[in-house]
Amino acid sequence: MPPESPSPSGDTPARGQLPTLAYELESGTGTLPADVRVHRFRMTEAVSEPYTIVVDIVTAEVDYAFEHLLGHDAQINLVREEFVRSVYGIITAIDWLGLSGDHLMLRLTMRPAFALLDQQVHTRMFQDLSVLDIVEQVLSTELGVYNRSYDPGSVQRGSTPREYCAQYRESNLAFVVRLLEEEGISYVFAHDDELDAEQLRLIDTGTQLISATNLDTSDVFPMIVHNPGEADIESVQAIEWRRRVTSTGVMRRDYDWRTPTTLLDSETDAPDELQRTRRVYLHGGRRYFNDDLAERAADQQAALARPGRRGFGRGNAIGFRAGLKFMPDGHVLEQLDEELLLLRVEHEGHDPSALPSLEAQSGPHGGYSNMFECVPASVVLRPAALTPKPHVRGPQTAIVTGPSGEEIHVDESGRVCVQFYWDEDPPYDDTSSCWIRVAQRWAGPAWGAQFIPRVGMEVVVEFLEGNPDRPLITGCVYNGANASPYSLPDNKTQSGIKTNSSPGGDGSNELRFEDAAGSEEVYIHAQKDWTIAVENDKRQTVGHDESLEVGNDRTKHVKHDEKINVDNDETITIGHDHTETINNDMSVTVVSNQTITVGKDHTETIGSNRTETIATNASESVGSNKTISVGAIMQVSVGGALNASVGGAAGIEVGGAIAMAVGGAASETVGENKSIEVGKELIIKAAEAGQITTGKALGITSEDALTISSTKDMSISGKAKALLEAADEITIKCGSAKIVLKKSGDIAISGAKIDIKGSGPVNVKGSKVNNN
pLDDT class of 613 with cuts at 50, 70, 90: confident
**Residue 288's pLDDT is what?**
52
Residue-wise pLDDT tens digits, 74-103: 999 999 988 999 999 999 999 999 998 889
In this structure, are residues 164 and 125 in contact, taking their beta carbons and an 8 Å threshold? yes
pLDDT of residue 572 exceeding 80, the answer is yes
In this structure, are residues 680 and 658 in contact, taking their beta carbons and an 8 Å threshold? no
More confident residue, 401 or 255: 401
pLDDT class of 489 with cuts at 50, 70, 90: very high
**Residue 668, strand partner residues:** none
Mean pLDDT, residues 604-631:
77
**Residue 595's pLDDT is what?**
83
Of 332, 156, 305, residue with least CA distance to 239: 332
Highest mean pLDDT among 98-102, 539-543, 731-735: 539-543
Q: How far apart are CA 197 and CA 200, in angstroms?
A: 10
**Residue 11's pLDDT is what?**
47
Residue-wise pLDDT tens digits, 120-168: 999 999 999 999 999 999 999 999 999 999 999 999 998 999 888 999 9
Q: How far apart are CA 660 and CA 654, in angstroms?
A: 12
**Least confident residue range of 585-589, 686-690, 707-711, 748-752:** 686-690
Question: For residue 658, with 0-12 CB atoms within 10 Å meaning exposed, 13-18 middle and 19 or more buried, which class applies?
Answer: middle
Output the CA torsion sign for 549, 555, 557, 563.
positive
Instruction: Reply yes or no: is the peptide bond before residue 761 cis, omega within 30 of 0.
Output: no
Contacts of 321 by beta carbon, 8 Å cutoff, 6+ apart: 45, 188, 191, 212, 342, 345
**Region for 448 from its dihedrals, namely left if φ exceeds 0, alpha if ψ lies in -120 to 50, beta otherwise:** left
More confident residue, 94 or 331: 94
CA 176 remoteness from chain centre: 34
**Residue 13's pLDDT is what?**
45
Average pLDDT score, the chain = 85
Q: How far apart are CA 86 and CA 79, in angstroms?
A: 8
Instruction: Reply yes or no: is the peptide bond before residue 403 cis, omega within 30 of 0.
Output: no
Residue-wise pLDDT tens digits, 21-65: 999 999 987 788 889 999 999 999 999 999 999 999 999 998 888
